[in-house]
Amino acid sequence: MKVFLLVVSILLIIVVLLQSAKSGSAAKILSGGTTDLFAKRKERGAEKALTRITFILGLTFFIVCLVASF
């Protein structure tokens, strides 16, 4: 169980690091700059796949942690 949790953790870290940085938009909000953060933009291709993989790995990590705690 611990090995599986370790593998999921490493994969989750890698996938999160592969995603495109959206912090530039957040910095514009904090500094008062104009931004299109809430514009309707759809993810396509690899970005959509990475988002789905991140969600699945995050959910798996959460469930494995809950199961391992009992």
* 48 pLDDT above the threshold of 80: yes
**Coil/strand/helix, residue 40:** coil
Q: For the chain, give the number of residues.
A: 70
Query: When comparing pLDDT for 19 and 65, which is higher?
Result: 65
**Average model confidence (pLDDT) across the chain:** 82
Ordered by start, the domain boundaries in the chain are: 2-69
Q: Quick check: 52 pLDDT over 60? A: yes
| The 3-state secondary structure of the chain, one letter per residue | CHHHHHHHHHHHHHHHHHCCCCHHHHHHHHHCCCCCCCCCCCCCCHHHHHHHHHHHHHHHHHHHHHHHHC
